[in-house]
Structure 1
Amino acid sequence: MVILIDPPVWPAHGTTFSHLVSDSALGELHEFAARAGIRDRAFDVDHYDVPAEQYEALVALGAEPVSGSTLVRRLVAGGVRVPARDRPKRARLTLMRRWDELGMGDDQQSATDALRDDLLDAWSSPARHYHDATHLLSVLDAIDTMRLRAAELGASLSERELLTARLAAWFHDAVYEGAAGDDERASAALAVERLGALGLAPGLVGDVERLVLATIDHEVQRGDAAGEVFMDADLAVLARTEDGYARYVALVRRDYAHVTDEQWRVGRASVLRALLGSARLFVSPAAPEDWEPRARRNLERELKGLEASAS
């Protein structure tokens, strides 16, 4: 692992900034930044923005000075570079379009726009790391992936099932304080309040509430097409490439920065063992076939790493 820094040539706030990165692992980057006294809010997805006056001190501390083009090339080669689409600011713009595609109706346009903006503000909170707008967009994308596959299999999802799953995605982490169970219940209550105020059918509102609450234990009744698709979409992150999965774990760790490393190892290992002990991670017939084996490889690899670090 090497910490890299490019020249301070990026203008902002009356000075110029450098980018501080790791060429292979975000964990080591955060440790280096902590030693250097760099504030958490300077971190932006895959790098820290540091002002020009800190450049020499960071080089003296061990950061390797490189050109901007070399820094980007090393980020990409190391699998650490986050694509533009996975960046919260870009995700928010895309999510505004995705909300309009829900077809919530024009009779209460100002109210639906206000709900959209409130939800986007919640998902875009700077205090969030993994559970942010990019996660919401990834869940919606996974729902679309399964929609297309269901059609290929001759088992198309109904418009009502799709709308239920998509609305559940928008609300499922709308409240996120890091309190398991309480967050899901508060998010479900918010869905009932806000969707009910829009005059949506009580049955639809009730189904969205049920699916948001189901994220507490990630269990739905067999044959509940909307529920199965939504549960699988929420877990689709487990089936990312090895590099993508590593970024996901690093962001989740930052969401739990308030716990010690030992507490993290114990708690995270328990979650991983529970997931690996399930008969199937992905329960919808529309889930791509490669999700299951890839997710299990990622989970097993992470668990081995946690067990090795504990010993």
Structure 2
Amino acid sequence: MTVLIDPPTWPAHGTLFSHLVSDTSLAELHAFAASIGVSPRAFDLDHYDVAAERYEVAVAAGAVPVGGRELARRLGASGLRVPGRARRATKADALLARWDALLPGAREVGVELVERWHEPHRVYHGPEHLVHALDSLALLEGRPPGVPDAAGSPGHAGTGAPSGPGGSAPGVTQLALWFHDAVHDGEAGRDEERSAALAGARLAGRLDAGAVDEVVRLVLVTTDHSPAADDRTGALVSDADLAVLASAPDRYARYVRQVRAEYAHVPDDAFRAGRAAVLCGLLAGSALFRTAEGATRWEERARANLTAELAALDSPA
């Protein structure tokens, strides 16, 4: 790991601040910051703001002093950098505003979820993924990105109480995305089960039992992204979760770096083998996206991205 720090030139709160970053691992960045007494509250998605009086302490502890441009370049190359536009949307207050509009009167649940999505060990499965999934769902449901379709009061969900598979309940699909990676410990299958259980516990009494059960079911759909042919709501959630696969080349490359950074503890050979198996599994299916809208928007580009990534894994040099 390399921890980098730029000069304290950023004014705020009556002093100057440096940026402290890692070009390898957020987990190790958090550990380094804690070791020199920097508060967790100083963390801002991909860096710590370090007051000028702590600069020499950080350097003495092993942080490498670099200029601001070099720090930005190294952070960008690492895959850990969160761009400005995404940064604004992933801030806690912006996410909480979206949650409050979706499920009024449940602020404490929203606070817990936002805290979970901002957990230090997350790189790809963090707030940027949540925002992208919610905005992708909005496109599929015909809503402007960033504008929730409120889940309403207990007994209601979205524009109406949810039907079974194949029904349409926008509020329920959004709630499923809020909860779908709420537990992320890197245990495939178990994470989805725990996230679904969390949804059931936190939504009980806030929506009718049928709506809660539907959210739980939809969270579990993201385990294998294989909704039944008549499962419209499941298809919406699955497609929104996978929409990042169809990103523009620069965004997809950042996604690939983020995934690698999230598994920085895995040796290269083992990671390449595991990642190749995931990619081959995705490409082997007849369709990545199960809604007509998703297939039209994203299928071709997603397959091109996955195929290019797989080729790169076969030629690691």
> Of residues 224, 230, 239 in structure 2, which corresponds to 1:217?
224
> Of residues 127, 136, 143 in structure 2, which corresponds to 1:133?
127
Structure 1 residues 72 and 131, CA gap change in structure 2 (3 angstroms):
closer
Contact 1:228/1:283 (8 A) holds in 2: yes
1:230 matched to 2:248:
no
TM-score (norm 1): 0.74
Separation in 2 of the partners of 1:201 and 1:10?
Answer: 50
Contact 1:229/1:286 (8 A) holds in 2: no
Structure 1 residues 101 and 277, CA gap change in structure 2 (3 angstroms):
same
Structure-to-structure mapping, 1:42-81, within 5 angstroms: 52-53=55-56, 65=67
Contact 2:80/2:258 (8 A) holds in 1: no
1:273 matched to 2:280:
yes
Structure 1 residues 17 and 288, CA gap change in structure 2 (3 angstroms):
farther
- Residue by residue over 1:267-292, the C-alpha shift from the partner in whole angstroms, topping out at 9 and shown as x without a partner, is 11100111111111111112262411
The amino acid of 1:30's aligned partner reads: T
Indicate the residue corresponding to 2:166 in structure 1.
none
Gap regions ≥5 residues in structure 2: 35-39, 144-157, 163-168
Runs of 4+ in 1 over 3 A off after TM superposition: 4-8, 11-21, 37-59, 63-66, 70-76, 79-82, 88-91, 157-160
SS of the residue corresponding to residue 280 of structure 1 reads coil
Contact 1:5/1:71 (8 A) holds in 2: yes
1:293 matched to 2:300:
yes
- Residue by residue over 1:117-156, the C-alpha shift from the partner in whole angstroms, topping out at 9 and shown as x without a partner, is 111111111221111122111111111011118xxxxxxx
SS of the residue corresponding to residue 294 of structure 2 reads coil
1:247 matched to 2:254:
yes
- Residue by residue over 1:83-108, the C-alpha shift from the partner in whole angstroms, topping out at 9 and shown as x without a partner, is 32322884322221211222x35xxx
SS of the residue corresponding to residue 101 of structure 1 reads helix
Separation in 2 of the partners of 1:148 and 1:304?
Answer: 35
- Once superposed, what is the RMSD of the aligned Cα atoms? 4.0
1:258 matched to 2:265:
yes
Gap regions ≥5 residues in structure 1: 150-156
SS of the residue corresponding to residue 99 of structure 1 reads helix
Separation in 1 of the partners of 2:124 and 2:5?
Answer: 25
Indicate the residue corresponding to 2:155 in structure 1.
none
- Residue by residue over 1:52-95, the C-alpha shift from the partner in whole angstroms, topping out at 9 and shown as x without a partner, is 44779999x8x8746x6x9879999xx99643232288432222
Identity of aligned residues (%): 45
Indicate the residue corresponding to 2:94 in structure 1.
94
Q: How many equivalent residue pairs?
A: 281
Contact 1:129/1:254 (8 A) holds in 2: yes
Indicate the residue corresponding to 1:154 in structure 2.
none
Contact 1:86/1:134 (8 A) holds in 2: yes
79-88 or 280-289: bigger deviation: 79-88
Structure 1 residues 45 and 120, CA gap change in structure 2 (3 angstroms):
closer
1:30 matched to 2:24:
yes
> Of residues 193, 201, 206 in structure 1, which corresponds to 2:201?
193
Structure 1 residues 15 and 302, CA gap change in structure 2 (3 angstroms):
farther
Separation in 2 of the partners of 1:114 and 1:56?
Answer: 41
Indicate the residue corresponding to 2:136 in structure 1.
142
Separation in 2 of the partners of 1:288 and 1:178?
Answer: 28
Structure 1 residues 13 and 229, CA gap change in structure 2 (3 angstroms):
same
Separation in 2 of the partners of 1:190 and 1:86?
Answer: 26
Separation in 1 of the partners of 2:111 and 2:6?
Answer: 36
